[in-house]
Structure formats: structure tokens, C-alpha cells
Amino acid sequence: MTDRQPILQVRNVSVDFKIPAGGMFGGTNVLHAVKDVSFDLYQGETLGIVGESGCGKSTLSRAVIKLIQATSGESLWMGKDILKMSPKELVGLRKDIQMVFQDPLASLNPRMTAGQIIAEPLRIHYPDVSKTERMARVVEMMEKVGLTGNMINKYPHEFSGGQCQRIGIARALITRPKLIVCDEAVSALDVSVQAQVINLLMDLQKEFGISLLFIAHDIAVVRHIAQRIMVLYFGEVVEIGESEQVVMAPQHDYTKKLIASVPVPDPKEEMRRRELRRRLRREAAAAATAA
């Protein structure tokens, strides 16, 4: 990767939230959700961001594309800091950076048809495109994600969860973006459907040359789709590297814990992993007591 310029350079990004302290004197506490995170993303690459729920994965992904406000740091898109962009500049950026959300049904407007949902980014970013051409592009994109054109007038409640996520992917792809942020995009789906959606994303990535930020808590899923993996723990990066290197030779105890939590069909291996999980828990408890 070092022989190419990254399309996204995240430098020392932190996100803090003020939380009401409660009690009779009020006041606020500060939650440090993301702490001084840096990474690069290259064209056509998938970077997996993994960690348990609450570790700051989604907060980080939203902050670097300014869906929420970062407290400090830089997020350089083609050399320009997203975090300093004006609202007008951000509108122009959105056609190049799209997002696929965790809940495939909740992320779709129930009052809009599949065709209207997928066409909406085109209508916003390319208003000069005629309605006929817009609908033709929608049908083409629906077919690319495994849906058929005769579904164009159906509403979200008429689709399965996997089909709804395909609609979300089609909507994200319709503007031909350079980057798609997948925020737990398969975690709400059945295992068999997860595999279908992941394979779909990999095929579409090859076809369109897009980059992916793929956020998930399951390191086994991330290993399948990502070239590199970044592990977050309480908002901090504890490990980053090539996927096989991170999974096969993890350096941090938290990464080892994530790998040990992945179920395997071999009973002996599962017993070994259970013992590893127990040891890591004991060591974590001892460290906490000592602190």
C-alpha cells in the first residue's frame, strides 16, 4: 500500500461527549468515545474496523465523514480536511462518500418505494438527469445488487431483511461513490444472508473500484472481506495490520480475546479457546485490581 497515495487520511481524531452528571448540583461528565485515532485508506481497499459494542467503531466512522462532529483531529479526503468543510462543501462530498447502515429496514423510508429510495441520491446530486434516465439507472443498479426491475414499485415492508440491505447498497452505489462506509451492515442479518451480502459487496468493489470502511464486531466476518484490520478498544487503536497477520498472529490481548470469542466446530479447539478466554478475563481483572 505504501507505493500509493491514500484517498482518506485520518489523523489524531478524537470524539468527546458531554453527559449530564445528575444529582442536585448538576454539571457534566465527559465521555471519551474516540481517542486520538489515525489510519489511512487506499483506493479499492477494504479496511475492517472491529471491536465490541460501545468501543467507538460507529462513532469513529461517522466522525471521519462529519455525520457527527469530531472534537479534534483531521480527516483528509484527497488532501482536503472533511472536518473543516462547510455545509455546502459537504453536500458536494456526499456523492463520493456514501453509507450503508446496520438496520436495513429502519434505514429506509417506509413511505417511499424501492425505486424512489434508490433514485433519491441521483435526484439530489444530479438534478439535470431526466426521470426516464434516472429510473433506467435505478433498474440497472437493482439488477447489479440481485434485485429485479419489477420490484421497483414495492415498499420496504414487502422485502426481506437481506433484500432491504440490497436496496441500501444500491442507494449507496447509485452515485458511483469512491468510498462506502458499511456500519455493521450485516450484523442484523442471518448468517447465510450475511455471506451473500458480503460476497455482493466484494463483487461490486471489484467492478467499481470503490474503497470500503467495514465496521463489525465479528473479526471472522471482517477477515473475509478486509485486506487490513484495525482493532478498537475503548475508543483507542490497539492493533492494525494486514488481515491474516492480525488474525493469525495477534499482538494485543484484546485482539486475542476477539479471536477466541469466534465459535468453531472443533470441540477441542473450542475448549482451548474457552480456557484462553478465562485466562484473559482473569488477567484483565487482576490488572484492574492493581490499577
- In this prediction, residues 279-288 reach a mean pLDDT of 68
pTM: 0.83
At CA 4, angle to CA 58 and CA 179, rounded to 5?
35
The pLDDT value recorded for residue 18 is 86
**Is the confidence at residue 142, as pLDDT, over 50?**
yes
Instruction: Please state, in angstroms and rounded to a whole number, the distance separating the CA atoms of residues 5 and 139.
Output: 35
Percentage of the chain beyond pLDDT 70 is: 88
**Is the confidence at residue 187, as pLDDT, over 80?**
no
Q: Residue 275 to residues 256, 269, 280: CA-CA distances in angstroms?
A: 12, 10, 9
Q: Show me where the domains of the chain are located.
A: 252-290
How far is Cα of residue 179 from the mean position of the Cα atoms in its chain? 11
- Residues 80 and 262 sit within 8 Å (Cβ to Cβ): no
- In this prediction, residues 272-282 reach a mean pLDDT of 66
Query: pLDDT category, 200, cuts 50, 70, 90?
Result: confident
Q: Take residue 96 and report the three cell numbers written for it.
A: 463520493
